[in-house]
């Protein structure tokens, strides 16, 4: 049985990943800040192990990594993230909020990846997938604005791409994923992509990752994106 660890698994895309992978027969380690409040996750069917994890807290990450030290994790999905203030013009920048978004969206996925890299290395599949966004693409930025979110995802892409080179000899595949504009709490009710559809597309993309394929950036329809 393959094992997956998902961060931010209590709602939105993380919850959908947990449900769909559990339905496919995976062992799912579903991590979130407050399992006591994760009622939808608790109600999901399948082999789902709910664990406490605050990705912004090094001690919390270390505790879970130690608890799972004997587990091989075939697929790590760095899903937890925030958007921050929307549509801020440059002259009204909220620098404190910007710092928090960078911590959660860029530093924390790196923190989680480094903590669980030993678990991934000893698995069969060896895949680390991180939820990014096409808004993090420098070449794809033709509209400006959304400085906070865009920069956090561009930086995320940079650190994960760099790490993929630094540990290339370990056979771990690094994948950056754009889930589409999804109708989650973050995306809002008017977003065109249903979470179930976006996640189903991403699962198909991940299933198609070949051994040794790394440093790739795909959307949920399987299109490779420009960095």
Fold that domain 3-219 belongs to in CATH? Rossmann fold (3.40.50)
Read off the pLDDT of each residue in 3-24 and give the average, rounded to a whole number: 98
Q: Are strands 48-52 and 173-178 parallel, antiparallel or unpaired?
A: unpaired
Grade residue 211 by pLDDT with cuts at 50, 70 and 90: confident
Query: Given a cut of 60, is residue 61 above it in pLDDT?
Result: yes
Query: Given a cut of 60, is residue 110 above it in pLDDT?
Result: yes
Residues in CB range of 129: below 8 A, 6 or more apart: 75, 76, 77, 78, 175, 176, 177, 202, 206
pLDDT reported for residue 212: 84
CA separation for the pair 112, 117 (Å, rounded): 8
Sketch the domain layout of the chain as residue ranges: 3-219
């Amino acid at each position: 049985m393959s094992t997956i660890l998902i961060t931010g698994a209590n709602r939105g895309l993380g919850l959908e990943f947990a449900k769909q992978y559990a339905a496919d027969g995976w062992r799912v380690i579903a991590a979130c800040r407050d399992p006591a409040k994760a009622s939808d996750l608790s109600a999901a069917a399948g082999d789902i192990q709910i664990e406490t994890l605050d990705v912004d807290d090094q001690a919390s990450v270390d505790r879970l990594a130690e608890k799972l030290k004997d587990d091989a994790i075939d697929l790590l999905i760095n899903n937890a993230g925030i958007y921050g203030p929307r549509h801020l013009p440059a002259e009204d920048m909220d620098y404190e909020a910007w710092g928090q978004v960078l911590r959660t969206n860029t530093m924390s996925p790196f923190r989680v990846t480094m903590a669980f890299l030993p678990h991934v290395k000893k698995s069969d599949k060896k895949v680390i997938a991180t939820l990014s966004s096409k808004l993090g693409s420098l070449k794809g930025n033709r509209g400006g604005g959304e400085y906070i979110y865009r920069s956090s995802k561009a930086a995320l892409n940079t650190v994960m791409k760099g790490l993929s080179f630094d540990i290339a000899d370990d056979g771990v595949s690094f994948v950056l994923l754009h889930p589409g504009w999804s109708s989650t709490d973050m995306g809002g009710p008017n977003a065109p992509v249903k979470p179930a559809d976006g996640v189903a597309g991403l699962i198909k993309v991940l299933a198609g990752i070949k051994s040794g394929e790394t440093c790739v950036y795909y959307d949920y329809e399987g299109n490779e994106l420009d960095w």
